[in-house]
Structure 1
């Protein structure tokens, strides 16, 4: 007879803490079999004692951080979980199973696996697979076995034929009355691999000890979905596009018209004033900023973007870095914070005005100045003052005097002249061409040359007009270059100042009560206040749904962003990760797999290898072109 119980074992290096295990000791054995539950509690919370541990004391409620780390909100839930795991452990490993092998079902085993899961994402994925399998079983029992419709799947009935039929069913269009969609080959392989993992666990835990695993005869096609990346020109378009707010509701309005993606009549503010319910939390500019931040921070996943907190920033060696535990892999990643990243953060850090009013005021002011400089540098309307005392431009000044008015005159105590723009030069050219008499008077002032024949004079007039216009264009171009150099230097200086101000503000926030706040308002702080030590693997069902809801909404709005930026691709949050990897391979010098693996935060090298195989490489293209060019030897090849 076997002994089953809960077992508390000391944590090495922490005398006051214990790990909880499932304990099994068969009759005649000297050593028990222990199965870790990965739950750590204070030794004093063991009831009735550590040696006779049966449940957790309510005293654990006083240790909030420790309780939350177990993945449970209260002691009662934790004890219920321990009781259920012990019962399942005893049933699966006992000498006298509750059901004979012939009656054990895959449905029951899937329920056992689902109930074990603490991670809500894994639990929902398992539920999705379970629903697909049971829906298939209902169809299979009628159409293949000619039996009464049933969702019950006996473990002994799962063989190679059953699995191949399930695969074929997934790849076909849904039958009448079936609530499902046709799966792609990639999704089908994913579901089959999940089913295989479930079946393997039933064998390893002695729920159903089959002699031959049916999946050993199943081959999975190595199908990888195509990876889209943004080219440099598409990234520049994304950065420079001035986004217009549009309707976001996908349902038709009262007139039956679909407004999704169409500009809002009367503007956003007018719409919001009429009904505040429509006030958008995230503008399209915000969505663009989030995407660019992902790209700039080593292509971090959207889950890491959403869960980035102020306490993830560390300032040492005179640089700011992000040190974060990634949500998916639970491994750490270090990211250098550059000036463009702080530029994006500056628009969201100003919401902490109460923490540092003067500093926030400076950031707001410098953001305004940077925007003004940016608009100026990208403006086609360049203005420069032509000093009337400039002797080299005397003829041009005389010509301009024919059309200038008060709006074109610059009068300052240190300078007096004409304000020259491209529009004014174009207007002068048209005026001189259309008003020959006025131009002749101007010529008489400047020359005493004997008047030639009318045709010759007409050509000389055209040449002289063109000379004046060319001189003014060259002068304006030179002034533009000088101004651009000066304003560019000021623009760079302002961004450098902003970078220092944002770093100073981050240091304040990470040392105050706001350190656990999310950097971007993609998730609500109050919904995740119980998540400590960055362990986002133990989310409650509500937290997980909030997480999924934000991600779906973000990807939905990225479609509007790509449409306005003229990017003809299905823009998603993960394309930022793909694009970073592609740019690193293209622009980085002497980049190897280990560099790319570390920057992407992969745990295994083969993950990175599989990743880059789906990326187009500029270096590979160049090598292919060299090979192609080398074949141009004069030999007549029909290629």
Structure 2
């Protein structure tokens, strides 16, 4: 089997059978293309059925010079998945990366904002500006519902089920989930929707999209990042924050106030509870108060 055909079949498998997000599939594909480019550059003529551990070690050694440890780990993981797929399809009998270890990564704790910092950031929004009310609704939705930035930009008017207290969110791999929405966040969405968005002329393909730019098109991920960065600067918040910071803050504040980890997992749309467990990084004063409140010997 040729490399090009194998890569194409693998990406199809990741999309259809594994249901992975397009960005994830693209990263897998690029990592395999790096391997084929390396083989071509160093004039190594080898089939995917015959490539050995030694040849892959040479590739990883050369490529890793330009990558940090996290990127190295992702590269090795992606290649392992590719060769596991080849075994699954009976093109190979073994995985040549089986004995190649990924770099050991420390667990990076997400940055969070305190409720005071979030209020401070929202207060920095200029509501006299044409996009001020929209930007306030965006920040309140990111924090109030714990959405990923792609989930926010793809949020539809038809997915707002306010009477039931939920919004429908399309997450990674086009997986849908219902996320509860509080009346406070709902108020700012309705304010934007009924008083600002109603005066826009949405492009036909974006008529059902909630958050629009001035030209009636869907907001990009980059635009949301820019809005957040500018607000942080205006609010004099020194932390390096992004739209994802509000998702981290959402989960952390829920946990600190006694929410069940499984419930938070459902709201965030995490497939595995281990992903949600990263939010167990509570400050020691909170841990002590939990001990004193619930332990029989306290």
Which residue number corresponds to residue 35 of structure 2?
A: 133
Whether the 8 Å contact between 1:160 and 1:215 is mirrored in structure 2 is: yes
Q: CA deviation at 1:306?
A: 1.5
**Conservation of the 8 A alpha-carbon contact between 1:517 and 1:525:** no
The 5 A counterparts of 1:78-89 are none
Normalised by the length of structure 2, the TM-score is 0.77
**Could you report, residue by residue, the CA deviation over 1:480-507 in whole angstroms, capped at 9, with x for unpaired residues?**
xxxxxxxxxxxxxxxxxxxxxxxxxxxx
The answer on whether the counterparts of 1:313 and 1:323 sit within 8 Å (CA) in structure 2 is yes
Query: RCO higher in 1 or 2 (8 Å CA, sep ≥ 6)?
Result: 2
Q: Matched residues in 1 for 2:63 and 2:126: separation?
A: 41
Alignment pair present for 1:333 and 2:178: yes
1:597 aligns with 2:265: yes
Task: Tell me which residue corresponds to 2:254.
Answer: 584
* Root mean square deviation, CA, Å: 3.7
Trace 1:431-580 onto structure 2 (pairs within 5 A): 517-521=208-212, 550-580=220-250
Match of 1:531 in 2: none
Q: Which residue pairs with 2:198 in the alignment?
A: 352
User: How far 1:551 sits from its partner (Å)?
Assistant: 0.8
Partner of 1:196: 80
- Match 1:618 to one of 283, 294, 297: 283
Q: Which residue of 1 aligns with 2:98?
A: 216
Contact 1:186 1:224 in 2 (8 A): no
Query: Radius of gyration: which is bigger?
Result: 1
Q: TM-score, normalised by structure 1?
A: 0.39
* 2:142 alignment counterpart: 294
Tell me if 1:165 matches 2:58. Answer: yes
Where 1:334 maps in the other structure, the secondary structure is strand
Q: The residue matched to 1:517 in structure 2 has which SS?
A: coil
* Structure-2 change in CA distance of 1:524 and 1:283 (3 Å): closer
Q: Give the CA deviation at 1:622.
A: 4.8
- Provide the C-alpha distance between the structure 1 equivalents of 2:170 and 2:127, rounded to a whole number of angstroms: 36
Write out per-residue CA displacement over residues 15-45 of structure 1, whole angstroms, 9 at most, x where no aligned residue.
xxxxxxxxxxxxxxxxxxxxxxxxxxxxxxx
- Residue among 112, 115, 118 paired with 1:235: 118
Tell me how many residue pairs correspond in the alignment. 281
Q: Is it true that 1:112 corresponds to 2:112 in the alignment? A: no
CA distance, structure 2, for counterparts of residue 306 and residue 217 of structure 1: 41
8 Å contact from structure 1 (residues 559, 571) kept in 2: yes
Measure, in 1, the Cα distance between the counterparts of 2:171 and 2:67: 30
Residue ranges of structure 2 left out of the alignment (5+ in a row): 292-298
Q: Can you give the 5+ residue segments of structure 1 that lack an aligned partner in the other structure? A: 1-103, 142-148, 173-181, 246-267, 269-281, 355-512, 527-545, 627-639
Number of the residue aligned with 1:309 = 156
Distance 2:173 2:183 in 1: 24
If each structure's strand is expressed as a fraction of its own residues, which one has the higher value?
1
Q: Distance in 2 between matches of 1:106 and 1:514?
A: 37
Aligned mates of 1:124, 1:217 — CA distance in 2: 25
